[in-house]
Amino acid sequence: MSMRIVSLLIGLSLAAGASCGRKGPLALPQGQAPMAVERLSAIPKDGTVVLTWENPVKTVSGKPLGPLGEIEIWVFERDAPAAGASVRPAAVEASARLVRRIAVKDAAVSSFVFEPSPAGPNSLTFTVRVLDRKGRASDFSTPAVAEIVRAPARTLASSRRGT
């Protein structure tokens, strides 16, 4: 073969290799992801916080949703977003803590009881997202805030009076 043909073949193979395929991680179509959960509430009760919400029944594109896989519960113990604001996944993953992943039951309404740390903050903000069985995640729910009421700490003097 002549040098000209070899150069042409090498150039074509480099051009084809550089433009072949998509770079980066594979992303599933957004329209098939579950809608976000609705009506998230966080109610303080007897030293815990009871979270309740409604699971989605449709995808982002409006089609009926298949079976859900799991629910992620996240808590902001500081740097919480404003109440009622939408939250971006990167902001949640940077500022919040994943509390638990739980398997989804077939119920339309789900709940979870969170036990805050005794020395933790007095205000906690929660958000929830669901994942279908193919791993497609919903957007995070609108945050819900719970004000924690803690029993006053007993002082050493009051504990001595009782003995």
What per-residue confidence (pLDDT) applies to 54?
94
CATH classification of 31-147, choosing from 3.40.50.300, 3.40.50.980, 3.40.50.1820, 2.60.40.10?
A: 2.60.40.10
Q: Tens digit of pLDDT for each residue in 95-116?
A: 999 999 999 876 688 899 999 9
Q: Which residue has the higher pLDDT, 153 or 86?
A: 86
Q: Tens digit of pLDDT for each residue in 27-67?
A: 655 688 999 999 999 999 988 999 999 999 999 999 998 88
pTM greater than 0.75: no
Give the model's confidence band at 91: pLDDT under 50 very low, under 70 low, under 90 confident, else very high.
Answer: confident
Enumerate the β-bridge partners of residue 140.
Answer: none
Domain ranges of the chain: 31-147
Instruction: Give the residue from 140, 59, 133 showing the smallest Cα distance to 103.
Output: 133
Q: Tens digit of pLDDT for each residue in 124-161?
A: 999 999 999 999 999 999 999 999 876 665 554 455 55
Q: Which residue has the higher pLDDT, 7 or 90?
A: 90
- DSSP letters, 117-154, are -TTS-SEEEEEEEEEETT-PBPPPPPPEEEE---PPPP
Q: Three-class SS of residue 32?
A: helix
DSSP state of 46: T
What per-residue confidence (pLDDT) applies to 106?
67
Start-to-end CA span in the chain (Å): 103
Outline where 46-108 has alpha helix (H).
89-95
CA gap 72, 90 in Å, rounded: 15
Give the distance from CA 81 to its chain's centroid: 14
